[in-house]
């Protein structure tokens, strides 16, 4: 099983939850959240730039 989708090497495959309870598992929510991020965040040059831009993005969504 590949973690990445073929069409975009920055997208992750979202595992299918067998039960409703499993939909909140990190293994399901993590890839779903990652795939919803803008491409510029997913392709950040470094961890520090990713964290800075993620913080800006999340503050913008919450208060913008």
Angle at CA of residue 33, ends 29 and 39, nearest 5°: 155
Q: State pLDDT tens for residues 3-62.
A: 555 456 788 887 776 776 677 788 888 888 999 999 999 999 999 999 999 999 999 999
Q: Compute φ and ψ for 14, nearest 5 degrees.
A: -95, 120
Residue 2's contacts (CB-CB under 8 Å, 6 or more residues apart) are 13
Q: 49-61 burial by CB neighbour count: b if 16+ within 10 A, else e?
A: ebeeeeeeeeeee
Amino acid 58: pLDDT: 95
């Amino acid at each position: 099983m590949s973690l990445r989708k073929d069409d975009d090497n920055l997208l992750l495959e979202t595992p299918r939850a067998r039960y409703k309870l499993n939909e909140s598992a990190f293994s399901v929510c993590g890839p779903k959240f990652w795939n919803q991020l803008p491409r510029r965040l997913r392709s950040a040059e470094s961890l520090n730039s990713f964290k800075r831009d993620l913080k800006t993005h999340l503050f913008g969504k919450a208060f913008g």
